[in-house]
Amino acid sequence: MATEATRSMSNTVESSRFGMSRLLQDVFSMQEGTAGALLQRLLSAARLHLGMEVAFISEFREGRRVFRYVDEAERIDLLKVGNGDPLDESYCQRVVDGRLPELIRDAQRVEEARKIPATEALGIGAHLSTPIRLKDGAVFGTFCAFSFHAEHTLNERDQALMRVFADIAAELIEQDIQRIREEESRRKHVSSLLGWNGFHMVWQPIVEIASGRITGVESLARFPGVDGKGPEEWFRDAASVGLTEQLESTAVDKGLQVLEQLKPGQYVACNTSVQALMDGDVIRRLERAPLERVVLEITEHDVIEDYERVLGALAPLREKGLRVAVDDAGAGYASLRHILRLRPDIIKLDISLTRDIDTDITRRSLALALVRFAGEIGSTLVAEGVETREELDTLAELGVDTAQGFFLCRPQAGEALRDVLGQSLC
């Protein structure tokens, strides 16, 4: 966190009390972590340095002072995060508007402080409070600490240090506010796509290499291009705001609509994450489909914590004819675990494996190993991302059953899809 506030704090510490630099070592070295975690550590460092019993960061909201972060000495349980009180009854408001100084060594001797009910009720002695000002000049709240005894050794250096703490807190809060705004923007955009017309599907043919016959199609989502985002980014956005299940189940529902166009014996492959699958909505939508004509593709990138639970969820559907594919095989270690544990009906070779397979012996060797493995467990291989005749011919020589890619056919929809479904594409 190499900022002006951090550098200012470093300079202040050099001239601060003995041992302060050691106490704040963690604060200075903070490079990672959520803004909330860093604010909590910052607050703790401030309280320990000042020798106070209580420290907190407050937010001014709708006429109240709300405690957002609290750090208290052992066996003190005074303030609760999320609680608050009227702003006009607080030290915080009086410090901001200038009726109280930021540094109070003994509140019992300050007339304005004695007017505040908490001074007597809590027995407040020393008190330090500094406004937290955001970049636009608005006061977010205050960075505060107090003790139950007077502390006459507090000085201007302590006050200056508290101001730097408040500056750092302001930066972290700004970051958090920006994160929340961006998250809300993503949520709004993704939510707008969840309606039936929010995005559309295209379908890419999957071709039997030996005959050129289309055996199935993969359903692929396409989104409005106003933000310049591809499908993967939209699905990542959905995951970041907790809308994965809704978006993926809608995509599955849309993808299944192509069944009305497919020829006898052709299937549709729909992609889903394990998270969306286990949520249950994807399964409920699949149950309405002719499952003997549906393939469910599980991506290589998904982490599966409990394979038995996933297998249990899939079992009733597989008994009714659903086939399972492991997507992106060869792209990483996870795909091998998926293949071993899920025993898929279809293994899809990742584009990173099929690209240049005609000129790369390493790719050919790995593909050949997967061909043999698939034969041993009774799975069918589909090579993704085939872009040249040479790649297709090499895959055929290796014994790969089926393929898809731009060389064979780009994703299609509507009349264009109907036109190709009965064609031979090799």
> How does residue 26 score in pLDDT terms, banded at 50, 70 and 90?
very low
Could you tell me if residue 277 is inside a domain? yes
Dist CA 133 CA 5 (whole Å): 13
Range of the domain at 301: 197-421
Please determine, for residue 426, whether its predicted confidence score (pLDDT) is greater than 80.
Answer: no
The mean of the pLDDT values for the chain is 87
User: Does any domain span residue 215?
Assistant: yes
Rounded to an integer, the average pLDDT of 84-96 is: 94
Q: Both 168 and 207 in a single domain?
A: no
What confidence score (pLDDT) does residue 332 get?
Answer: 60
In a domain, 395, yes or no: yes
Higher pLDDT, 197 or 169: 169
Selection from 365, 404, 368 nearest residue 384 by Cα: 404
Pair (268, 177) in one structural domain: no
The average pLDDT across 121-138 equals 94
Residue where a domain stops, chosen among 152, 183, 214: 183
| End position of a domain, from candidates 148, 183, 218 | 183
Residues 169 and 302 both lie in one domain: no
Last residue of a domain, one of 183, 207, 242: 183
228 & 116 share domain: no
Q: For residue range 292-336, list pLDDT tens digits in order.
A: 999 999 875 667 888 999 999 999 999 999 999 998 776 665 667
Question: What's the Cα-to-Cα distance from 26 to each of 44, 45, 176, rounded to whole Å?
Answer: 11, 9, 20
Q: Are residues 94 and 160 in the same domain?
A: yes
Distance CA 140, CA 421 (A): 61
- The answer to whether 49 and 67 have CB atoms below 8 angstroms apart is no
Give the number of domains in the chain. 2
Query: Is 124 in the same domain as 203?
Result: no
- Residue 426 domain-assigned? no
Residues 231 and 158 in one domain: no
- Could you identify the residue written with the tokens 């796509």? 193
Percentage, residues of the chain above pLDDT 90: 67
Token reading at 146 = 């107090």
Residue 212 resides in a domain: yes
Are 66 and 152 found together in one domain? yes
Q: Is the pLDDT of residue 396 over 90?
A: yes
Q: Decide if 191 is inside a domain.
A: no
User: Is residue 25 pLDDT above 50, yes or no?
Assistant: no
The mean pLDDT of 99-109, rounded to a whole number, is 96
For the segment 198-213, the average pLDDT, to the nearest whole number, is 94
**28 has pLDDT over 50:** no
353 and 221 housed in the same domain: yes
Tell me, yes or no, whether 188 lies in a domain. no
Q: What is the CATH number of the domain that holds 74?
A: 3.30.450.40
Percentage of the chain modeled with pLDDT above 70: 89
In terms of domains, do 320 and 177 share one? no
Task: Tell me, yes or no, whether 192 lies in a domain.
Answer: no
Q: 225 and 178: one domain?
A: no
- pTM for the complete prediction? 0.69
**pLDDT of residue 58 exceeding 90:** yes
45 and 146: one domain? yes
